[in-house]
Amino acid sequence: MTLRTLIAAERRRERRGLRQAGLCAALVAIASVLLLALSGWFLTAAALAGGAGIVAAQAFNYMLPSAMIRLLAIVRTGARYGERLASHGAAFGALARLRPALYRAITAAPPMVALALGRGEATARLIGDVDAVEWRFVRLSGPWGGVAALASGAALTALGGWLAMVATLACVAGALGLAQLWARQLEQPGRAVQQAMGGLREEVATMGGAAAELRCFALEDWAADRIAAAGDRLAEAQERQAAVVARFEALHAVSVALSAASALLLSAGAGAPIAALAALAAAMTADAIAPILRAMTESGRLREAEARLETVFDAVEVERPAPGVALDTNLVIDGNAFSPGSRIALTGPSGCGKTTLIEGLLGLRSLPPGRIMIGGRDAATLPPVTLRATFAWAPQDSALLAGSVRDNLRLADEHATEDRLWQALHDAALDTVVRALPEGLDTWLGEDGARLSGGERRRLSLARAYLGEAPWLLLDEPGEGLDAVVAAEVARRLAARLKRTGQGMILVSHRPVLSALCERQWAANGRARSAA
C-alpha cells in the first residue's frame, strides 16, 4: 500500500467528519459575511435615523437587526467550534492509523532502507512528517468556506448593483490567481524547512544517545555546536519561507481592502446603508479565502513530507511464505553441509563480516546468492518471515525496551507462560538476578535496560532468544562483558539446553569456554573444519 492510497482510504473512512467540517465551515463563512454586512447596514442606518430627528429615530426598528446580529454571532461561534471539532477529529483519527502503518512500513522495508534511518530520522518521519500530513485533513474544509463566502457575498454585494458584485468577485479571483503563481516560488522554501526540521531531530537524537560518551570525552560543546548549526539551518529555511509567506499575507490584506473599496464606490448610488452593507460583505468575502492562501503556503512543506514518507512505503517488501522450508532446517554454508542440531563456531578476525553474515541469515541484510542454502533453497531468495522462523537471535548489541523484564522477554513469544519465562532466564543464568529484583518479572528496567548491568542486559537478550524456540540459535558474542565465573555458568547451562532441545547453534564468541561447546568451526573465508 502506498501513502497516497492510504490517505485516500483514510479520507473515505473519515468522510462523515470531513463532511461535517465542510458544512460547518460553509456556515461560518455565510454567518460571517451576513454578520458584518448587516452590522454595517445597521450602524449606518441607525446613524442616519438618529441624525434625521426624533421622529425618524423613534420610527427606526432597532430590535430586529440587533437580534439578527446576536443570532448570527452565536451561529458563527457554534459553527466554528463544530468545524474545528470535526476537522481535527477526522485528522487525529487518520493520524492514529497513519503512524502504525508507517512503522509497519519501516519494519517491512528492505534492510538497506530501514537500517539507514537513524533514530532521529525515524522519529522525524513518524512525528514531523506525519504531522505535516495533518494539514491535508484539517484544511479540507477551507474550500467549502470559500465557496459559501463567494455565494453569500455575491448575493449581498448585488444589492448595491451588479458592478459592485463583479468587482468583488474579480478581486477575489485575481488574488487566488496571483497566489497560485506565487505558490510555485514557495514550494522549495517549504521543502527546505521540512528537510531542515528532520535534520535537527536527527542531530538531537544522535547526540542525546551518545550523551555519556560526549561527557566522558568533554565533547559537550562540540555536540552543542552541531545542534546549533542544525538549528541555524532550520532558522534560515524558515526565514526564507517567511519572506514568501509575507507576500501572501500582503496579498490577502490588499484583496480585502480593494474589495471593500470597490464595492463601496460602485454601490454609493444605492444609499449609504446599502453601500456600507456591500463594502463590508465584500471585505468578508475576500477575507474568507485566507484558509486557502494559508494552505498554499504550506504546500511545499506538505509535498516534501509526503515525498519523505512515500520513500518508505515504496520500499516495502511483500513477504510471501516459502512452503516447505520451515520443515527442513539442513544448512549448506559455502558448500559445507550442517545437519539440524549442529554446533558451529563462526571464526575469523574482527571486521571480517561475521556479524554481517549473521544479520543476513535473519534477513536484516542482503545475502550473496548461492552462499547459504536452507532446506535446499537459496537463503538469499527466502522472505524474512521464513528466515526468522528458522533462527533465534541474540545480537552483539542487544536493544531492550523501556519496560519490564516480562515485556522484554515476551518480544520473542507474547504468549509465553510464566514457567517458560523462568526456564529461559534459568538457561541464561539470570533467574537469580531477576528473583532478587523488587517486582521480579514485572520490575521496570528503564530506558534500554538501564537498571541492569551490561552483562545482565546481554543475558536477558540471550534468554529472549531461548524463548524463540527456533531450530537454530544465532548467538553473537553472548559471553561479552561477563566475568569468568558467570561465562562458565552460561556455557554450562547453554550446553544443557542444547542437549535438551536438540537445537542447532551458530556461535560467534572469543570466549574459549563458549566456543568449546561447538563441534565444528566455520571460518569467514568459507572453510569449515572440526573443532580441535
Contact indicator for 429, 493 with CB cutoff of 8 Å = yes
> In 3-state terms, what secondary structure has residue 521?
strand
What pLDDT, on the 0 to 100 scale, is given for residue 155? 92
Mean pLDDT, to the nearest integer, of 6-31? 88
More confident residue, 111 or 343: 343
Measured distance CA(415)–CA(418) in Å, rounded:
10
Closest CA to 264 of 285, 279, 242, 247: 279
CA gyration radius for the chain?
Answer: 34
Question: What pLDDT, on a 0 to 100 scale, did the predictor assign at position 324?
Answer: 41
CB 475 within 8 A of CB 510: no
Contacts of 217 (CB under 8 A, 6+ apart): none
Answer whether 86's CB lies under 8 Å from 21's CB: yes
Per-residue model confidence as pLDDT tens digits over 468-521: 878 999 999 898 888 899 999 999 999 999 999 999 999 988 888 998 999 888
Residue 529 in this model has a pLDDT that exceeds 60: no
Distance CA 358, CA 346 (A): 9
Three cell numbers at 198? 528532520
Looking at per-residue pLDDT, the higher value among 272 and 134 belongs to: 272
Confidence of residue 116 (pLDDT cuts 50, 70, 90): low
pLDDT at 185 over 90: no
Query: pTM, whole model, 2 decimals?
Result: 0.68
Do residues 379 and 373 touch, judged by C-beta distance below 8 A? yes
Name the H helices within 52-161.
54-59, 63-108, 111-114, 119-123, 130-138, 142-157
* CATH 1.20.1560.10 domain position(s) in the chain: 3-312
DSSP 194-207: HHHHHHHHHHHHHH
Q: Please, what is the Cα angle at 464 between 461 and 467, to 5 degrees?
A: 155
Residues of the chain with CATH 3.40.50.300: 325-530
- Residue 473's φ and ψ, nearest 5 degrees, are -100, 135
Instruction: Note the pLDDT tens digit of each residue in 327-383.
Output: 467 888 888 888 888 999 988 777 777 877 888 888 877 788 888 888 888 888 888
How many angstroms separate the CA atoms of 32 and 149, rounded?
8
Q: Which one has a higher pLDDT value, 54 or 461?
A: 461
Distance CA 471, CA 295 (A): 55
Q: How far is CA 108 from CA 112, 131, 171, 185, 228, in A?
A: 11, 22, 51, 36, 34
Nearest to 149 by CA among 265, 35, 32, 311: 32
Where does residue 239 rank: exposed (0-12), middle (13-18), buried (19+ CB within 10 A)?
A: exposed
DSSP lists the bridge partners of residue 520 as 344, 530
- Per the model's pLDDT, the better-predicted residue between 404 and 117 turns out to be 404
- Please state which CATH class domain 3-312 belongs to: mainly alpha
Q: Which three cell numbers stand for residue 292?
A: 486557502
What tens digit of pLDDT does each residue of 93-109 get?
A: 888 888 888 777 777 76
3.40.50.300, 1.10.287.1080, 3.40.800.20, 3.40.47.10: CATH of 325-530: 3.40.50.300
**204 within 8 A of 321, measured Cβ to Cβ:** no
Query: Is it the case that residue 320 has pLDDT exceeding 50?
Result: no
Do the Cβ atoms of 202 and 120 come closer than 8 Å? Answer: yes
pLDDT over 90 percentage in the chain: 35
Of 390, 413, 350, give the one whose Cα is nearest residue 473: 390
Count the helices and strands in the chain (H runs, E runs): 22, 10
The DSSP bridge partners found for residue 519 are: none
Nearest to 362 by CA among 473, 496, 523: 473
> Which of 259-268, 375-384, 406-415 has the least mean pLDDT?
375-384
